[in-house]
Structure 1
Amino acid sequence: MTARNILFIMCDQLRFDYLGCTGHPTLETPNIDALAARGVRFDRAYVQSPICGPSRMSFYTGRYVRSHGSTWNGSPLRVGEMTLGEHLAPLGVRSVLCGKTHMVADRAGMARLGIAPDSVIGARVAECGFEVWERFDGLYPSRGRRRPENYNAYLRARGYDDENPWETWANSAEGDDGEVLSGWLLGHNDRPARVAEPDSETPWTTSRAIEFIDETEGPWCLHLSYIKPHWPYVVPEPYASMYGPEDVPPPVRSEAERRDAHPVLAGFQQHRVSRAFSDEAVRRKVIPAYMGLIRQIDDQIGRLMAHLDSRGLTEDTLIVFTSDHGDYLGDHWLGEKELFHDASVRIPLIVVDPDRAADVTRGTVSETLVEAIDLVPTFVDWYEGEVASHILEGHSLLPALRGADQTPRAAVFSEYDYAFRLTRRTLGQEIADSRLIMVFDGRWKMIHAVGFPPMLYDLDADPDELHDLGRDPDHAAVRTRLCELLLDWATRHHNRVTRSDAEIEAASTREFDAGIWIGFIDEDDVAEAERDGHGGN
């Protein structure tokens, strides 16, 4: 039997609606659209946290943020949390990283348990269970903590002679007099990156993935994780000139959102990045570059798919295309991500199942509510493994891909810890109380905010989420019902991960079978329990 593989592609900060197949009016993404035509596009997919680190830890563990405990960027994933690699290893599958994870290792926990970081186990624990082919988080300029040294070495070998060419060439533009202009500064994002396009981050990461595919026999799960279109929003030619201010959609926002904003929303609207993206001149410089970065990714997806075809791997490879969260780009007077409007928390999700059983759904769009935590059980299911339902909190998408009717989930949930952000201080919130939880049932989206009234949006009547009904007395019954959904979710088992349901079932008569007869009166009582099979109950 030919080895089965998984190609798990993730973009960073790609909005759900910035693709041709999701309806963008001018941005063309023919190669990603072709994936949607070959598979299923899940139109209502949501992340478990609208920020990189926690979202990715949920993708990689198949568990909610409150379960795995990594609540913000830089908060380590604690030792002992099972990750994708650990679920697939018993099935004989290598889980390999090429790109970004935003993983921060629990080095204190590793030291406490005597796990050496340079040991095989230590290396896997430090990298989300992945075998690292190429870790490339980007993000760090010359004053930063970690530079992309492999990519920098590549650039230097190509003649980009600088201490940190990732910053000065790949993420910088050039002024009229030849001066280097930092791509971190939004006012420079309408200029092209200094690096030649074939040497920029996205093609280089694709090349590294192709090298892995060419050098490796399956089965493998390759996590190809691009660092774009995440900021710095700077892209080389020809992509820098593909789109202009005329391609920038008008922002989705209203004056009422600022005039009568929920306290938490008002706090985030005052962040520096939100004030910048509230300026239309900034949007007109940044968004064309953001679109160019996406178009570059699309072209590299085309290159990658052609390579799979040439290697004869397409018919044996499950392909997933998604993002870790979105980008406000000025919508709702916000920049970045972090809150729960669809621009931030909703993601593109395309799954291509090459099995003939999936022919019945090819090219379809699913309205089923889907969560990021559904991918790990889907991958286990693809390899015909047993999904550890006491650990994994999502549901396999394989039945939906193959046309089976599934009982839809009642709601999706997402969490955010804003203790690290300026808003917490401006609101005078305690660190422990700086929590937001979204519950969305497919129509009504409520955001529970500790210490404040909830936010509530009716996406049927108000798809742009402009009218907060969280304090409207006419919608008290809706809020009560969503609070009940939230309470039901919050009180489920989230951390009984060491004993499976089957083990618990088998243990239910263990004491009785061992002669520990608690509550029985005499021998006849015991004999009756044995006959009825009720021992121990």
Structure 2
Amino acid sequence: MSDPKNILFIMFDQLRWDYLSCYGHPHLHTPHIDRLASKGVRFDRAYIQSPLCGPSRMSTYTGRYVHSHGASWNNVPLKVGERTMGDHLRNLGMECWLVGKTHMKADAEGMARLGLEPDSVIGARVSECGFDVFERDDGMRPEGPDGFYDDGGALKYNAYLRGKGYEGDNPWHDHANSANDGAGNVLSGWFMENSDKPANIAEEDSETPYLTRRGMEFIESRGDAPWCCHLSYIKPHWPYIVPAPYHDMYGPEHYLPVVRSDEERDTNHPVFGGMMKAPVGQAFSQDQVRDKVLGAYMGLIKQCDDQMGVLFDWLESTGRMEDTMIVVTSDHGDYLGDHWLGEKTFCHDTSVRVPMIVYDPSAKADVTRGTSSDALVQLIDLAPTFVDVAGGNIADLDHVLEGASLLPLLHGEDQGRDYAFCEYDYSMTPLAKRLDLDTAEARLFMVTDGRYKLVEFGGGIRPILFDFKNDPDELIDLGESVDYQEDVARLSAVLDTWARRPSQRTTITNETLRQNRTQRSTKGVILGAYGEGDADADLTEKYRNRRAPPVRGH
């Protein structure tokens, strides 16, 4: 075993932390991801920074909180000038490549203003979260009356499918993400009544095996230079449909019980209550919807795990496991009917807590190998971890990176952070309109210390508080409880302090600021001196014994 030379950063999309057997799922067995956990550290309290694909990923790639980088919702551009893990790693001599999804939208206006051509090397990197692109596939080629959701979505994958003989103008939809009635009629995966049917595609041609092969092709193509590969899977994100044999592996007898209560549904909280009334919340509140979707969701995860087996076996057989750090995580969870919600855009652990497994091949990590950690960690901790692995000095970047390296935790030298934070900007959603909230008000902020979780809201809306010790399922909102106002106030003060950090000052290091405290001004600026003797002689040399002719008339 040696210090990691390379980094394989694997991210799944919408994978719940509790839907892996190493995290305790009693029926969904994931032996290959479990095997990685047995070689590394399984973090049991890993939190994302926003419960939505785009902002969560932008935080992960930049190592910064959402209101620091500003890409607060899907398709809100990451502004030009934000540094990402790719920028940091390349400065340290490590390549940084993408295979799969980012959900990033380029700041085209900012690039045009600065004269950055999208097809230039620098322009392409700015357009792709700082990654060099082996293959970008956001896994999204839906089409509506105004065209495609993403004009560039799944283009290479669709070309691959056509080359394999799959017909149609959009085989991503008609085959990979839909079923077929046997008479040639497409049964769209967008309709959840079809979730229990097999996708109309050979399993080896579906999205997850395809991306696994592409990831291996990338790794095989690299020479001796160190690399970071972001292998970013599309599944188990919706459309909830999976090819045979995974489509009918699981039934109601394998499902986790739904976590919700009638008291929750009767809440007076306008944001939580409003989200329950959204179409996706209404849908997943129905048992028939949940029963259809859960089988497909679990099948998608099982397929993901099987592909991890293919990938890990190949890494071991080629010797790459010995010098490659491997991270497996997710960008957010999925409510799946818990708390009367669907999707992910709120702050229960179902949504904002994710699996995170880190395998470090170095001997320094032997002390924690095969263990679990209940330390509070965040996805923004990955960027500084990778910088640390690449030999960078984290202190030189502490004015930019807001996360903390996980290497001390992996090497048994640290206990983690005191708090984890998450935020969500819902200003462009129908809920913000229904609540008549200004764009600056339609925001929420979450903080947890591991015992309690506080969620604060703009617009004068009251906070929500959960007590994990007495209510691990987060069913009881204590935000208005007289007995818990001290905890509300304490965590609110933590949020206030966090919000006032100097997160936008990224052009000068903290060390430079500290050095300036003790450095004299030697450029001629002298303040507070009444006479020549009130300042150091060397500083006033240019101002003493000087002559100049007087102005006539004075």
TM range (shorter): over 0.9
In structure 1, the partner of 2:422 is: 414
Alignment match of 1:499 (pick from 504, 508, 524): 508
1:102-121 matched pairs, under 5 angstroms? 102-121=103-122
CA shift in 2, pair 1:339/1:3, >3 Å:
closer
CA distance in 2, matches of 1:462, 1:415: 22
8 Å CA contact retained: 1:170, 1:194? yes
8 Å CA contact retained: 1:258, 1:266? yes
RMSD of equivalent CA atoms: 1.6
Percent identity among equivalent residues? 55
SS at match of 2:60: helix
CA distance in 2, matches of 1:462, 1:523: 70
**Structure 2 residue 460 is matched with structure 1 residue 460:** no
Greater CA drift, 395-404 or 514-523: 514-523
Q: Which string of whole-angstrom CA distances, capped at 9 and with x for unpartnered residues, describes residues 197-232 of structure 1? A: 000000000100110111112300000000000000
Shift of the alpha carbon at 1:175?
A: 2.1
8 Å CA contact retained: 1:283, 1:330? yes
Shift of the alpha carbon at 1:176?
A: 5.7
Shift of the alpha carbon at 1:517?
A: 2.0
SS at match of 1:190: coil
CA distance in 2, matches of 1:420, 1:462: 32
Alignment match of 1:440 (pick from 441, 448, 470): 448
Shift of the alpha carbon at 1:3?
A: 7.8
Alignment match of 1:204 (pick from 207, 210, 215): 210
CA distance in 2, matches of 1:409, 1:289: 36
Shift of the alpha carbon at 1:497?
A: 0.4
**Structure 2 residue 202 is matched with structure 1 residue 193:** no
1:69-218 matched pairs, under 5 angstroms? 69-143=70-144, 144=148, 145-146=150-151, 147-175=153-181, 177-217=183-223, 218=225
Structure 2 letter corresponding to 1:9: I
**Structure 2 residue 449 is matched with structure 1 residue 449:** no
Unaligned 5+ segments in structure 2 are 540-554
Alignment match of 1:277 (pick from 265, 279, 284): 284
CA distance in 2, matches of 1:515, 1:141: 64
8 Å CA contact retained: 2:4, 2:360? no
1:49-64 matched pairs, under 5 angstroms? 49-64=50-65
1:90-489 matched pairs, under 5 angstroms? 90-143=91-144, 144=148, 145-146=150-151, 147-175=153-181, 177-217=183-223, 218-387=225-394, 388-406=397-415, 408-450=416-458, 451-489=460-498
Q: Which string of whole-angstrom CA distances, capped at 9 and with x for unpartnered residues, describes residues 311-337 of structure 1? A: 211110000000000000000000000
Shift of the alpha carbon at 1:114?
A: 1.2
8 Å CA contact retained: 1:142, 1:167? no
Greater CA drift, 133-142 or 503-512: 503-512
8 Å CA contact retained: 2:4, 2:362? no
SS at match of 1:516: coil
In structure 2, the partner of 1:6 is: 7
Q: Which string of whole-angstrom CA distances, capped at 9 and with x for unpartnered residues, describes residues 357-390 of structure 1? A: 1000011111111011100000000112112001
In structure 1, the partner of 2:24 is: 23
SS at match of 1:33: helix
CA distance in 2, matches of 1:2, 1:460: 39
SS at match of 1:512: coil
CA distance in 1, matches of 2:68, 2:264: 33
8 Å CA contact retained: 1:245, 1:285? no
In structure 2, the partner of 1:534 is: none
CA shift in 2, pair 1:347/1:527, >3 Å:
same
CA shift in 2, pair 1:528/1:462, >3 Å:
farther
Greater CA drift, 171-180 or 258-267: 171-180
Q: Which string of whole-angstrom CA distances, capped at 9 and with x for unpartnered residues, describes residues 92-118 of structure 1? A: 111000000000000011111111111
Shift of the alpha carbon at 1:264?
A: 0.4
SS at match of 1:209: helix
8 Å CA contact retained: 1:202, 1:226? yes
8 Å CA contact retained: 1:100, 1:226? yes
8 Å CA contact retained: 2:3, 2:361? no
CA shift in 2, pair 1:520/1:324, >3 Å:
same
CA distance in 2, matches of 1:10, 1:137: 12
8 Å CA contact retained: 2:162, 2:171? yes
Shift of the alpha carbon at 1:142?
A: 3.6
Shift of the alpha carbon at 1:520?
A: 2.9
Shift of the alpha carbon at 1:513?
A: 2.1
SS at match of 2:412: coil
Greater CA drift, 267-276 or 422-431: 422-431
CA distance in 2, matches of 1:468, 1:89: 46
8 Å CA contact retained: 1:446, 1:455? yes
CA distance in 2, matches of 1:398, 1:196: 41
**Structure 2 residue 44 is matched with structure 1 residue 43:** yes
> How many residue pairs end up in the alignment?
529
8 Å CA contact retained: 2:4, 2:325? no
Shift of the alpha carbon at 1:154?
A: 0.7
State the TM-score, normalized to the length of structure 1.
0.96
Shift of the alpha carbon at 1:291?
A: 0.4
CA distance in 1, matches of 2:305, 2:70: 34
8 Å CA contact retained: 2:196, 2:296? yes
CA distance in 1, matches of 2:338, 2:59: 26
In structure 2, the partner of 1:535 is: none
**Structure 2 residue 526 is matched with structure 1 residue 517:** yes
SS at match of 1:351: strand
8 Å CA contact retained: 1:31, 1:298? yes
Shift of the alpha carbon at 1:515?
A: 3.2
